[in-house]
């Protein structure tokens, strides 16, 4: 792996998508609840049932919801449910706007104006699904390194996504900050050796204690915040 020389003082900023870029978790849960009702005939499913699968990709998200209701799905069922779930999600995205969370675009735009910052997207979501979210939220992802779930073998909490993102921008993980919203993502970032800012868009601060910084909104985060986390200043 070739990384930038530490003396060049480059900083990496890596964004998760679901629950960080935009409020996708409500749509993810709605699509999953609908699939569970339509495909499995399972009623009474709620958003919290999927919490253990947050940030781990579609299959683990679905499995988490099923286990909450005492179900162990077959591989065939999981494949069908995740396919339908994505179809339902994309349908929602076409019918409803999905603006970025406050502070997201501002942080990205300011970092892009700095010569000492490199940016990446790293998400467990599929290419089709995550790209749809990024485009709906007007994120300039084509100017960023973009690692999606279709490109990795292992999903969070495995660090593979973030290690690939750091490699893609050419910066050591220790000089990168990952922005996450889920415990599995925070764990993956820390295992990769990066710093992590957790935003409480999808779960409580108590569930994100492993992060280096926890905030309610990215409006609270500046580039100085990023630099200080990395340098220990």
Task: Give the pTM.
Answer: 0.86
Predicted pLDDT at 8: 58
In the predicted structure, residue 6 carries a pLDDT above the cut 50: no
Residues 6+ apart with CB under 8 A from 232: none
3-class SS of residue 102: coil
Q: Where in the chain is the domain with CATH 3.40.50.1000?
A: 6-23+99-231
Mean pLDDT of the residues in the chain: 93
Q: How confident is the model at residue 2 (pLDDT cuts 50, 70, 90)?
A: very low
Range(s) of the chain covered by CATH 1.10.150: 25-95
Share of the chain above pLDDT 90, in %: 85
Each residue's pLDDT tens digit, 85-106: 999 999 988 888 889 999 999 9
Question: Does residue 165 carry a pLDDT above 60?
Answer: yes
- pLDDT at residue number 96: 82
pLDDT at residue 179 tops 80: yes
Q: 25-95: what CATH class?
A: mainly alpha
The domain made up of 6-23+99-231 has a fold known as Rossmann fold (3.40.50)
> Within a 13 Å sphere around the CA of 160, how many CA atoms are in the beta-carbon half?
13
Alpha-carbon gap, residue 48 to 204, rounded angstroms:
12
Per-residue pLDDT for 160 more than 80? Answer: yes
Question: Contact at 8 Å (CB) between 120 and 126?
Answer: no
**148 φ/ψ angles, rounded to the nearest 5 degrees:** -120, 170
Q: pLDDT at position 55, please?
A: 83
């Amino acid at each position: 792996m070739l990384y930038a020389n530490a003396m060049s003082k480059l900083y990496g900023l890596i964004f998760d998508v679901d629950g960080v870029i935009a409020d996708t978790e409500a749509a993810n849960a709605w699509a999953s609840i609908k699939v569970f009702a339509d495909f499995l005939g399972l009623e009474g499913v709620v958003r919290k049932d999927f919490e253990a699968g947050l940030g781990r990709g579609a299959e683990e998200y679905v499995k988490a919801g099923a286990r909450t209701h005492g179900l162990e799905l077959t591989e065939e069922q999981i494949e069908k449910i995740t396919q339908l779930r994505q179809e339902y999600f994309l349908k929602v995205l076409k019918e409803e706007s999905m603006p970025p969370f406050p502070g997201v675009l501002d942080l990205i735009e300011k970092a892009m104006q700095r010569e000492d910052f490199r940016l990446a997207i790293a998400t467990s979501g599929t290419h089709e699904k995550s790209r749809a979210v990024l485009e709906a939220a007007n994120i300039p992802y084509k100017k960023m390194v973009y690692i999606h779930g279709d490109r990795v073998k292992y999903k969070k909490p495995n660090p593979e996504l973030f290690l690939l993102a750091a490699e893609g921008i050419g910066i050591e993980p220790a000089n990168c900050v990952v922005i996450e919203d889920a415990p599995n993502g925070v764990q993956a970032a820390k295992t990769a050796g990066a710093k992590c800012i957790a935003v409480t868009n999808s779960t409580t601060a108590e569930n994100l204690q492993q992060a280096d910084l926890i905030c309610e909104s990215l409006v609270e985060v500046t580039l100085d915040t990023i630099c200080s986390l990395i340098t220990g200043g």
